[in-house]
Structure 1
Amino acid sequence: MPEHLPLAPAAPWVELVATTADWDAADPQLLRTMYAQLVWIRTFEQYVLDLAAAGLIHGPAHSSIGQEGGAVGSVLALTSADSVNGSHRGHHQFLAKALHHVAPAGLDPLTAPGDDVRDVLLKTLAEICGLDRGWTHGRGGSMHLQWKAAGAMGTNAIVGGGVPQAAGFAWSHRQDGTDAVSVTYFGDGAVNIGSTLETMNLAGAWALPVCFFIENNQYAVSTNVREATAEPRLSARGLGFNLASWKVDGMDPLAVHLAMTEAVEHMRSGKGPTVVEVDTYRFFHQNGGFAGSAFGYREKEEEKAWRARDPLTQVAEHLQRRGIMSAEATDEAVTRAKAVMEEVGSVVLEPLPGGKPGQRRIRPDEWPDPAWVDVGVRGDLSEFDDAPVVDPQGHAVAVQDTKFIDAVAGVMARRMETDEGVVVMGEDVHRLNGGTNGATRGLPDRFPGRILGTPISENAFAGLAGGIALDGRFTPVVEFMYADFMWVAADQLFNQIGKARHMYGGDGAVPLVLRSKVAMGTGYGSQHSMDPAGIFATAPGWRIVAPSTPYDYVGLMNAALRCQDPVVVLEHVDLYTSSGPGPVDDYDYCLPVGKAAVRREGADVTVISYLGMTPYVLEAVAEQDPENALDAEVIDLRWLDRASIDWETIEASITKTNQVLIAEQGAVGTSYGGWLADEIHRRFFDLLDAPVWRVTGAEASPSISKVLERAAIAQKDEVAAALAEIKGY
């Protein structure tokens, strides 16, 4: 018979229950503030539901009514220096943090709110209505509320999407030498999301001061938590990652406050991340003002039982029991709050002309200007005003023959030496003498604590880097071993990092560099070989850099690290072992954003290429039969995103040649040249003597077989064939 030895989790896991003695010992000012916050949030939420019922809220109105106790009890254990982010149901989380920021000494439920409190209510209401005076000028609406000055870093419409970013805020707090903590609020549905579990693991491994605050409101839309998991005590998730965990009644704000106080102390003392699970209940359906029972997935008896434990009622009863406030006073606080909300609402609402009594509309002058629709997708590049930008053509510094990979490691070393805010993270970057390709050679020893080897969790560490970028104190450089892995982290790259600046109003910088290699031609097969340029070009917010020489790599990486937008730097494995002109000793110059390089001048055809395909193009042009050669002008794009294409250089070339060939290695289905050709046709139709010619790979992803892989990608031979076809056209 085998022996069975019982195992116990290494981390503590407790359920905290507040007793009457705890309520009796609580500071009266704390309880008054707690009640004031609950009243303001509840009144605000009911006002929003009323507007939604009147058709004045465009989009969802995810009410937090019933769940306010968790947000209020937890936020009152924090300071303005602490960061929070939240879920799509995040009005209460945001308001609790914002109100605590403007009134850190506490609110009184019977004192008329000051201008700062009114401003919080007004700007939040305006944002939910989609109006210009909102926090992000109406772009974020109900689900994307952000006020960074208050430590409210943004609520999030993707379930679990904000969790990795909160780990990034925590990393920044610790790296900056503060004791501030980060709290990420999410629901029972997000507990089963991969990004949440990946981040719990990463935060535990790195001992980050981040609290995973689970609002277990029992239902993910209409699916009960017991249907979705075999362990409905969701704080148990923390034990698998050695995270200290608390379970508490979320309808009891004081119990939440006591548990959160313990969790915050745990994190501030350097003991690592925590989990706090609060059992709570949303009184209404997923969206809008109807009860869940109206849709048949909840029973009225269940709803009645939860409503009997309303956090507002509980706090009011304890205030009355202790003689801190009378029943009349607690009722008066609610009445006053409703009156103030009507006053606040009147700023953005007016009677509907010709409508029935009580009908209202949004004041027309409150809407954003439609012309502002694309402003802030990317920044204005003012960060380059004092940059050492050099001429885009030729070599502005002394050069020598340099291995490409040495330029990669050299410029990163220089930037880390001159900027303590640069931090590198990725799989194996801290070992193997510089990662899998040598890009960080020598850097872990020179810059301890700034070359971070990560778990194999692209979604988590990409999102963590996104949080670092949103925080703004550091510049993360993320290495993805292969470009294909971007799709593992697609939510963080495309829904989060790429959209963040625009979604949150257009003003907030997102300084992040993502390095990734294109490995077609190396025998690594379909899942390690793709060129992502064509897909990235369709995603808003990102800038795309594709260096083809060591000199270009240094200047373009310096530009990427200075840029206040997220930049993906594509690197081709064919280039790593190649040599070419690179700087002798100047690693500080920047190549200008949006300027291509003319690699060869010509008069017959404009060949546009980028990255590892550029050398193949130059070879094909040089090896033409002299008697039948086309005089090709070769343009190396360098910058590939829509905002950074060098249309001036392209137009000047087409004006001479009157025809264009776009050459790329990648698959035809995800072709970068597809959209570029379309845009060239639209812009320069009158200059063209023929449709744009294109060289691409096949439809299939590259295979392992050397023969099939070569058939799937484009190189010199395909360019040569295209030039011959153009010659005979």
Structure 2
Amino acid sequence: MPTHKKLSPAAPWVEVIATKKDWDAADPALLTSIFVQTLIIRTFEEYVLSLASQGLVHGPAHSSVGQEGGAVGSVLTLTASDYVNGSHRGHHQFLAKALGYVAPDGIDPRLPLPEAVRTVLYRSLAEICGLADGFCRGRGGSMHLQWREAGAMGTNAIVGGGVPQAAGFAWSARHAATDAVSVSYFGDGAVNIGSVLETLNLAGAWQLPVCFFIENNRYAVSTHVDEVTAEPRLSARGLGFNIPSWRVDGMDPLAVHLATSEAVAHMRAGLGPTVVEADVYRYFHQNGPFPGSAFGYRTKEEEKEWRDRDPLALVISHLIRRGIFTETEVADCTARAKAEMEAVASQLLEPMPCGKPGQQQIKPDLWPDPDFRDVGVRGDLKEFDAARTADLSSFQGQLQDRRFIDVVADVMGRRMAEDERIVVLGEDVHRLKGGTNGATRGLAEAFPDRVLGTPISENAFAGLAGGIALEGRYRPVVEFMYADFMWVAADQLFNQIGKARHMFGGTNDVPLVLRSKVAMGTGYGSQHSMDPAGILATAPGWRIVAPSTPFDYIGLMNSALRCNDPVVVLEHVDLYPTTGEVPTDDLDFCLPVGKAAVRRSGSDLTVLTYLAMTNYVLEAVENSDLDAEVIDLRWLDRASIDWDTIGESIRKTNNVLIAEQGAVGTSYGGWLADEIQRRFFDWLDQPVQRVTGGEASPSISKVLERAAIAQADEVTTALKNITGR
């Protein structure tokens, strides 16, 4: 018989219970703050539900009525320098942090609300109603509330989607040598999400000061937590990652405050992340003003049991018992809060003309201007006003031949030496003498605290980099070994990083660079070979660069690192061993955003291409009798396409061929051809022609892989078809 040795987790796991002695010992100022914040948030949320019932909230109204104790009790342990982000049900989290920011010494509920507090309520309500005066100028609504100045870094409509960003805020705080902490609020539904579990692991491995605050309200929409996990004590998740964990009754805001205070002290001491699970209850359905029992997934008896433990009623009972407030004073404070909320809302509402008595509408002049629709998808590029630009065709300095891959490492080393904000992270970037291809050669030795080797968890470290970028002090450079891995981290790239500037009002810089390689032709098969340009071009917010020469790589990477938008830098493995002219001692120039390169002049046909396909096109054209003009696009996103150069060429040649290597289904040329035919239809003698790979992703077989991708032979065939020769 084998011997069995009982194991126990390395991290502590405790439940914190507030006793009557704790309530008796609590500072009256603390209890008053708990009361007034809970009262204001409850009054605000009830008013939002009343607006929703009148049809005045366009979209969801995810109320937090009943759950206020978790947010208030935890946020009161934080300072203005700390960060929070939250879930789709995040009004209470956002308001607690904002109220603490504008009234750090507390709010006296016996007096009229300070103007700064009224402003927070007004702008929050305006945002939920989708109005121009909202914190996100009406774009965020109920689920996307952000006020960076207050450390409220954004609530999030994707379940678990904001958690990796919170780790990024924590990394920035620690790297800047502050004692600030980050708290990420999410619910029981998010606990089993991959991005959350990946981030728990990453935060534990890197000892980041981030608190994973679980609001366990037991229902993911209508599905009970017991149905979806064998361990419904959700704070147990922390133990698997060696993270100290606390469990607490979230209907008791003082208990939450005590537990979170311990967790925050642990993090401020530099001891790493924490988990706090607060058992709470939402009184209403997932969305709107009706209880869950109205939809049949909860009983009225269950709802009554939880309402009997109401956090606001609990703190009021202790305030009265201790003589801090009288029943009359509590009633007066409650009436005053409702009157203040009515006064705030009156700035947004007016009687509906020809409506029923009491029927209201949003004041028409408060809606955003429709012309604001696309403003702020990307930045205005003012950061390039003082940039020095250069191009090989006009460069005056001394040149030498260098390998493409060597330039990749050299330009990053140069920028990191001059800009302490740049941090590089990815799998194996710190090992193997420069990663799997040598692209980070020498960086880990020169900048050991800014070259971070990550776990294999693209969701977590891409999202963490997104948090670093949004926090604003540092410029993350993320490496994905293969472009296919972008789809592993698709939520972070497309829903989070790409949309962040626009979604939160259009003014947030998101200075992030994502490097990734296109590896078709190397035998790595269907899941390591794709060209992502076509799909990336459909995603708002991202800029895309595709360098085909070492000189261009220097200028385009410098531009990417200067840009305040997220930029994807695509690198093709076919180009890594190639050589080309670069300045002998100049790694500091930019290539202008939105400037293509004419690689060959011609009059018969315009060929548009990028990356390694550029060389294949030039080879095919030189071996043909067609006088083709070859344009290397360099910038591929919608906002950066060089329509001036393209248009000038089309008006000369009247024919267009778009040549790319990748699969036809994810083709970049699809949208580009459509745009060209709409812009330049009158100048075209025939429809835009295209060269792509096949329908299938490249296979491992050398023969099948070659059949799946386009190179010079496919371009030659297209040229013959165009000329009829």
- 2:662 alignment partner in structure 1: 666
CA distance, structure 1, for counterparts of residue 48 and residue 130 of structure 2: 12
- 1:191 alignment partner in structure 2: 191
- 1:686 alignment partner in structure 2: 682
- 1:243 aligned to 2:243? yes
Q: 1:140-179 counterparts in 2 under 5 A?
A: 140-179=140-179
Gaps of 5+ in 2: none
- Give 1:576 shift: 0.5
1:711 maps to a residue whose letter is: A
- 1:615 aligned to 2:611? no
CA distance, structure 2, for counterparts of residue 29 and residue 464 of structure 1: 36
- Give 1:395 shift: 3.5
- 1:676 alignment partner in structure 2: 672
CA distance, structure 2, for counterparts of residue 498 and residue 242 of structure 1: 32
SS of 1:139's equivalent in the other structure is: coil
Find the partner of 1:719 among 715, 720, 725.
715
SS of 1:157's equivalent in the other structure is: coil
Q: Deviations over 1:39-87 (max 9, x none)?
A: 0000000000000000000000000000000000000000010000000
- 1:130 alignment partner in structure 2: 130
Q: Deviations over 1:303-325 (max 9, x none)?
A: 00000000000000000000000
Contact 1:392–1:595 (CA under 8 A) maintained in structure 2:
no
- Give 1:522 shift: 0.2
CA distance, structure 1, for counterparts of residue 394 and residue 672 of structure 2: 25
Q: Deviations over 1:434-484 (max 9, x none)?
A: 000001101111001100000000000000000000001000000000000
Contact 2:17–2:249 (CA under 8 A) maintained in structure 1:
yes
1:231 maps to a residue whose letter is: E
- 1:540 alignment partner in structure 2: 540
2:595 maps to a residue whose letter is: K
SS of 1:142's equivalent in the other structure is: coil
CA distance, structure 1, for counterparts of residue 19 and residue 135 of structure 2: 39
CA distance, structure 1, for counterparts of residue 682 and residue 336 of structure 2: 68
- Give 1:392 shift: 7.5
- Give 1:391 shift: 4.6
- 1:412 aligned to 2:412? yes
2:373 maps to a residue whose letter is: V
CA distance, structure 2, for counterparts of residue 510 and residue 228 of structure 1: 36
Q: 1:446-525 counterparts in 2 under 5 A?
A: 446-525=446-525
- Give 1:223 shift: 0.6
Contact 1:33–1:109 (CA under 8 A) maintained in structure 2:
no
- 1:31 alignment partner in structure 2: 31
2:652 maps to a residue whose letter is: K
- 1:638 alignment partner in structure 2: 634
SS of 1:669's equivalent in the other structure is: helix
2:406 maps to a residue whose letter is: D
- 2:279 alignment partner in structure 1: 279
Q: 1:235-314 counterparts in 2 under 5 A?
A: 235-314=235-314
Contact 1:392–1:596 (CA under 8 A) maintained in structure 2:
no
- 1:555 alignment partner in structure 2: 555
- Give 1:330 shift: 1.2
Find the partner of 2:647 among 643, 647, 651.
651
SS of 1:180's equivalent in the other structure is: coil
- 1:728 alignment partner in structure 2: 724
Change (3 A) 1:396 1:130: farther
SS of 2:575's equivalent in the other structure is: helix
CA distance, structure 1, for counterparts of residue 123 and residue 71 of structure 2: 19
SS of 1:643's equivalent in the other structure is: coil
Gaps of 5+ in 1: none
Contact 1:127–1:133 (CA under 8 A) maintained in structure 2:
yes
TM-score by length of 1: 0.99
CA distance, structure 2, for counterparts of residue 389 and residue 157 of structure 1: 40
SS of 1:608's equivalent in the other structure is: strand
- 1:98 alignment partner in structure 2: 98
CA distance, structure 2, for counterparts of residue 71 and residue 399 of structure 1: 60
- Give 1:397 shift: 4.2
- Give 1:106 shift: 1.1
2:5 maps to a residue whose letter is: L
- 2:595 alignment partner in structure 1: 595
SS of 2:215's equivalent in the other structure is: strand
Q: 1:67-86 counterparts in 2 under 5 A?
A: 67-86=67-86
**Sequence identity percentage:** 75
Contact 1:316–1:330 (CA under 8 A) maintained in structure 2:
yes
Q: Deviations over 1:560-593 (max 9, x none)?
A: 0000000000000000111111221100000000
- 1:575 aligned to 2:575? yes
- 1:695 aligned to 2:691? yes
Change (3 A) 1:397 1:222: farther
- Give 1:182 shift: 0.2
CA distance, structure 2, for counterparts of residue 416 and residue 509 of structure 1: 20
Change (3 A) 1:115 1:247: same
- 1:440 alignment partner in structure 2: 440
Contact 1:76–1:257 (CA under 8 A) maintained in structure 2:
yes
- 2:357 alignment partner in structure 1: 357
1:33 maps to a residue whose letter is: S
Change (3 A) 1:512 1:656: same
Contact 1:393–1:597 (CA under 8 A) maintained in structure 2:
no
Q: Deviations over 1:387-408 (max 9, x none)?
A: 1122574445432111000110
Contact 2:392–2:551 (CA under 8 A) maintained in structure 1:
no
Contact 1:13–1:239 (CA under 8 A) maintained in structure 2:
yes
2:169 maps to a residue whose letter is: F
Change (3 A) 1:396 1:468: farther
- 1:212 aligned to 2:212? yes
CA distance, structure 2, for counterparts of residue 590 and residue 244 of structure 1: 47
Q: Deviations over 1:82-140 (max 9, x none)?
A: 00000000000000000000011111221211110000000000000000000011000
CA distance, structure 2, for counterparts of residue 59 and residue 48 of structure 1: 12
SS of 1:644's equivalent in the other structure is: coil
Q: Deviations over 1:479-534 (max 9, x none)?
A: 00000000000000000000000000000100000000000000000000000000
2:364 maps to a residue whose letter is: P
- 2:139 alignment partner in structure 1: 139
- 1:710 alignment partner in structure 2: 706
1:123 maps to a residue whose letter is: R
SS of 1:183's equivalent in the other structure is: strand
Change (3 A) 1:397 1:310: farther
1:85 maps to a residue whose letter is: N
CA distance, structure 1, for counterparts of residue 196 and residue 331 of structure 2: 40
CA distance, structure 1, for counterparts of residue 355 and residue 393 of structure 2: 65
2:485 maps to a residue whose letter is: F
- Give 1:725 shift: 1.2
Q: Deviations over 1:254-307 (max 9, x none)?
A: 000000100000000000000000000000000011110111100111100000
- Give 1:728 shift: 1.4
Contact 2:543–2:565 (CA under 8 A) maintained in structure 1:
yes
- 1:369 alignment partner in structure 2: 369
CA distance, structure 1, for counterparts of residue 288 and residue 118 of structure 2: 24
Q: Between 540-549 and 388-397, report the one with greater CA deviation.
A: 388-397
- 2:423 alignment partner in structure 1: 423
Contact 2:57–2:129 (CA under 8 A) maintained in structure 1:
yes
1:659 maps to a residue whose letter is: N
CA distance, structure 2, for counterparts of residue 269 and residue 22 of structure 1: 24
SS of 2:639's equivalent in the other structure is: helix
CA distance, structure 2, for counterparts of residue 683 and residue 581 of structure 1: 35
Q: Deviations over 1:694-720 (max 9, x none)?
A: 000000000000000000000000011
CA distance, structure 1, for counterparts of residue 115 and residue 388 of structure 2: 45
Contact 1:283–1:307 (CA under 8 A) maintained in structure 2:
yes
